[in-house]
Structure 1
Amino acid sequence: MREPGFWHRPWSGLSLLLAPLGALYGLVAGMRLQRKGFDAGIPVLCVGNYHVGGAGKTPAVLALASLLRGLGETPVVLSRGYGGRLRGPIKVDPARHAAIDVGDEPLMLARTVPVVVARDRIAGVALARSLAASVILMDDGFQNPAIAKDAALIVIDGDRGLGNGRVLPAGPLRAPLAAQLDRTDALIVVGDGAKAGAVADAIAARGKPVLAAHLQADDASVASLRGKRVLAFAGIGDPARFFRTLRAGGIEVVRERAFADHHRFSKTEIEALIAEAKAGALTLVTTEKDLARLRVGGGRLPCWAEHILPFAVTLEFANTVQLRKFISERLFKAREKKFRTARA
């Protein structure tokens, strides 16, 4: 979906008109947050957002998977598989599945870490454990009470913030902010923007860590585009962030084309973008997630999309020691709690 502009305007007549629906949605969502979830039997770390749309959650999942492996853990990502047709539970296989099967984010993640897609998250837990997972890393699902979380790490974009701060459909929030803050164990602030300041202060006041991070362009991606003029396109939650990241990497972005989050590109759309780039002597570039949606079975690109270049990024934390300490302590506490419960 493409976010309505009034979500990011503090005083909007349409937002005020939808406020009663937002209050009702927020009441139900807040009640769901209080439900006790299923104990997975192994630690569960959830990476989520307070709002719909992008904030850098997928790079955060990849960064945490790498950190967990460095701690000697065997993480398996659990995802609902948004946008995919398979209900699961199923282990994502990039050599066999396409985005239409399992969703773009799981397909992208599965190139680095084992991923289980399951609409029924409890069934997904069972499959993850059968894959010898020592830790389940939930990609989204913060507002879903099905699985008990041992730590909830929330990602917020410092430049984007939380829009008008209202609950769907009056604003972008998935549940009342206060209820979400109370269940947050750590906040990951991506970028140097000031729009996350109030939320960061609220989390810090609760004695929870606020972790600063930034998106770092992949060296090989930068090298492949150095000296070239590009036409950049993206169908993610916040395309503007992608365009900013390109420019921060020293890439000359001549034209931008933004699409709705998880947009399914047609052959006609891609051919039009290719023609526009060719007419302007531009190189066509997009995100890894967008390119994942263009891949067909076997992980290959169709011939009409072969000349599109992906621009890879990683999430770099300002204080990796703080992050490692937080994760290690949470894992220890989770296992200690599960051990005591098993003996009771």
Structure 2
Amino acid sequence: MRPPAFWDAPGDHPAARLLAPLAALYGRHTAARMDRPGAAAPCPVLCVGNFTLGGAGKTPTALALAALLRAGGARPAFLTRGYGGRLAGPVAVDPARHRADETGDEPLLLARAAPTILARDRPAGARLCVEGGADCIVMDDGLQNPSLAKTLSLAVVDAGAGLGNGRTFPAGPLRVPLVRQWPHVHGLVLIGTGAKGEEVAEAAARRGLPVHRARLVPGADLAGRRVLAFAGIGRPAKFFTSLREAGADLVATRAFPDHHPYRDDEVARLAAEAERLGAGLVTTEKDHVRLPPAFAGRVSVLPVTLRFRDEGPLRAQLGAFLARRAGSRSDGA
């Protein structure tokens, strides 16, 4: 879906006020669901979630955290629902065999870095992770899903977007009223800079939660290249900004809804437009795995890596998380 513009407007926007009664009903229901106890997992579970609908940077955060866990001697596996795919799982994702229409885009990216299990039934998926040799789980999304107990939950916030108007869906982007989400969170990952993000960071600090600041670093040299950029992610404008910061010459941009399944004719039109402009096509890693195979080779990718400003506090928090592994093995014995 494409977020409505009023989600970024002040909270007293007429549309937000009109939807407030429905948002109150939705908020009460989802908050009560979020409070339910989850099934015990066979190993520690690190949940990488966010407070709002739409993209905040969860996937690059999950990849960066898994790398830190491996550096600490752990054997993490990713657990994902596979949003946008048709498979229910539990199934081990194989990028050489599976397609985005089967698994969704994020699982294919995660599976390039570590064993990845797709499962709508998260407890069943957690068991398959352990059967495959994992001693801890990085769960991509699922902060509001109560089915599996989490050992450590980190909320990812895009500092440029913050929490939008601060209202609950459909009056705003929050999945659950914020006051009901804080008790389920053990820390914040703040990506980028922005006044809206600082407000969330200050709220987290008042609650004694660590704030891990990070930024997305482009992984390709596009300096001086004329490009037509397109993206179907939560915040396409964020990708376009990253390209400009990488030195690319953006002659045109095209935004699509999040997780958009590209058709042959759409990409053919993009290619024809790029040719008229004397530019190359470039998109995100998540978009690239959703392209028709016949066109994928004609589109460049701008990979991004998440880098933390100070890994010390995060490593300490992850160290405590990893210390739970021995207890989990004992509990399961």
Name the TM-score class by shorter chain.
over 0.9
Alignment gaps of 5+ in structure 2 = none
1:171-210 deviation per Cα after TM superposition (whole angstroms, max 9, x unaligned): 1000010111121101000001121122111211121100
Per the alignment, residue 245 of structure 2 pairs with: 248
Per the alignment, residue 7 of structure 1 pairs with: 7
1:238 equivalent to 2:235? Answer yes
1:256-310 deviation per Cα after TM superposition (whole angstroms, max 9, x unaligned): 1001000011100000000000000011100000001126xxxxxx233321001
Q: Distance in 1 between matches of 2:134 and 2:105?
A: 22
Written as runs of structure 1 = structure 2, the 5 A alignment for 1:132-211 is 132-211=133-212
1:100-130 deviation per Cα after TM superposition (whole angstroms, max 9, x unaligned): 1111000111111111001111111111111
How far the C-alpha of 1:62 sits from its partner, in A, is 0.5
Across the two proteins, how many residue pairs are aligned to each other?
A: 332
Per the alignment, residue 124 of structure 1 pairs with: 125
SS of aligned partner of 1:126: helix
Q: Distance in 2 between matches of 1:60 and 1:339?
A: 26
- C-alpha root-mean-square deviation of aligned residues, in Å? 1.4
Q: Distance in 2 between matches of 1:21 and 1:227?
A: 49
Counterpart of 2:255 (choices 237, 255, 258) is 258
Relative to structure 1, is the Cα distance of residues 338 and 109 closer, same or farther in structure 2, using a 3 angstrom cutoff? closer
Q: Distance in 2 between matches of 1:254 and 1:270?
A: 17
How far the C-alpha of 1:153 sits from its partner, in A, is 0.6
Q: Distance in 1 between matches of 2:273 and 2:46?
A: 43
Q: Distance in 1 between matches of 2:247 and 2:224?
A: 9
Counterpart code for 1:277: A
Task: Extract structure 1 runs of 4+ deviating beyond 3 A.
Answer: 334-343
Preserved CA contact (<8 Å) 1:236 1:260: yes
Q: Distance in 2 between matches of 1:229 and 1:291?
A: 19
Written as runs of structure 1 = structure 2, the 5 A alignment for 1:224-235 is 225-235=222-232
Preserved CA contact (<8 Å) 1:229 1:283: yes
SS of aligned partner of 2:195: coil
How far the C-alpha of 1:337 sits from its partner, in A, is 5.8
Per the alignment, residue 24 of structure 1 pairs with: 25
Q: Among the aligned pairs, what percent are the same residue?
A: 51
SS of aligned partner of 2:53: coil
Q: Distance in 1 between matches of 2:295 and 2:285?
A: 17
How far the C-alpha of 1:66 sits from its partner, in A, is 0.6
Q: Distance in 1 between matches of 2:244 and 2:208?
A: 36
- Superposition TM-score, scaled by structure 1 size: 0.94
Per the alignment, residue 112 of structure 1 pairs with: 113
Preserved CA contact (<8 Å) 1:191 1:212: yes
How far the C-alpha of 1:330 sits from its partner, in A, is 2.4
How far the C-alpha of 1:6 sits from its partner, in A, is 1.0
Counterpart code for 1:37: G
Q: Distance in 2 between matches of 1:31 and 1:271?
A: 47
How far the C-alpha of 1:340 sits from its partner, in A, is 8.0
Q: Distance in 2 between matches of 1:190 and 1:154?
A: 11
Per the alignment, residue 267 of structure 2 pairs with: 270
1:74 equivalent to 2:67? Answer no
- Superposition TM-score, scaled by structure 2 size: 0.97
